[in-house]
Amino acid sequence: MAWINSDDLVAPGAFYQVADYLIKHPETQVVYGDRILINEECLEIGRWILPRHSNRVLKWVDFVPQETLYWTRKAWNLVGAQLDEKLRFAMDWDFLLRLSEKQINIQHLPIFLGLFRVHQNQKTSSQMSSIGQQEIQMIQQRELGYVPTMLQLILNTLLYLLSARFREVGLMFDMNRNVSA
């Protein structure tokens, strides 16, 4: 199961790769991957390269690219087969947190599974500082017992962010090595 926003795209081969992984790893109920950022003309403008999944870091920040997220019907049913429809921005983060509460096996697949379109009129760009920020703080209050400062967020996610950067540098090194070979 999955959902994708109207201006985002599924990466070529994503459905096959997700289905293949879930068939080969029946203990896993949820997977997500890396993201390619695109502009209005579908040109690549960036990439999100993520490290292994961390339920601990997930309580602090929503780092999972929603357009790369897939789950089984079993996982869906375990969390009540619904999203919190009162949320407009953070429904995917809330959903993931409810999944991790149930001890559901969530795995990051180190492949590009989705393309996230960035433009001025998108909801993420135009309303994040108002409605989106309120929802984020509400979830942080629920999960952590308080709304953390920026310094607390940095200190509690720094190792995760560094591991993402090391993975990204490693991929660039591998690509350069393959080009020169």
What is the domain partition of the chain in residue ranges?
Answer: 9-180
* Cα-to-chain-centroid distance, residue 46: 15
145: left (phi over 0), alpha (psi -120 to 50) or beta: left
Q: Which two tokens stand for residue 6?
A: 């109207």
For residue 47, what pLDDT is reported? 92
* Cα-to-chain-centroid distance, residue 98: 15
Name the fold adopted by 9-180. Answer: Spore Coat Polysaccharide Biosynthesis Protein SpsA; Chain A (3.90.550)
* Length reported for the chain: 181
Give the closest residue to 134 by CA, choosing from 88, 85, 173, 80: 88
Q: Which two tokens stand for residue 98?
A: 């409810």
* Cα-to-chain-centroid distance, residue 159: 17
Predicted confidence band of residue 170 (pLDDT cuts 50, 70, 90): low
For residue 165, what pLDDT is reported? 79
Other CB atoms within 10 A of residue 33 CB: 25
**Residue type for position 151:** L
pTM beyond 0.75? yes
pLDDT tops 70 at residue 28: yes
